[in-house]
Amino acid sequence: MNYAEGREMIPPGGFWINLPEDIKQEYMGKSYFLGGGKTGIARRLSFELPSLTLTL
């Protein structure tokens, strides 16, 4: 699986954790086993919420 194929499976506002269980480890590679939240990996913007880079 390549990066683009994995991104198509992630819903708006989601990230790699939203991938099906059988695909998560393949998509993340060695990063899957590292500690930390990793919530920025393969994040998609939400249509209902502001971008994470915008400040109010």
pTM over 0.75: no
**Stretch (H or E) spanning 8:** helix 3-9
Contacts 24+ apart (CB under 8 A), 3-10: 3/42, 6/42, 7/42, 7/44, 10/42, 10/44
Task: Find out whether 36 and 5 touch, Cβ atoms under 8 Å.
Answer: no
Q: Which band of pLDDT confidence, cut at 50, 70 and 90, is reported for residue 56?
A: low
Give the model confidence (pLDDT) of 20-42 as tens digits.
888 888 888 888 888 777 777 78
The CA distance from 11 to 43, in Å, is 9
Longest dimension (CA), the chain: 39
**pLDDT value at residue 53:** 73
**pLDDT value at residue 12:** 92
Task: Please state the domain extents for the chain.
Answer: 1-46
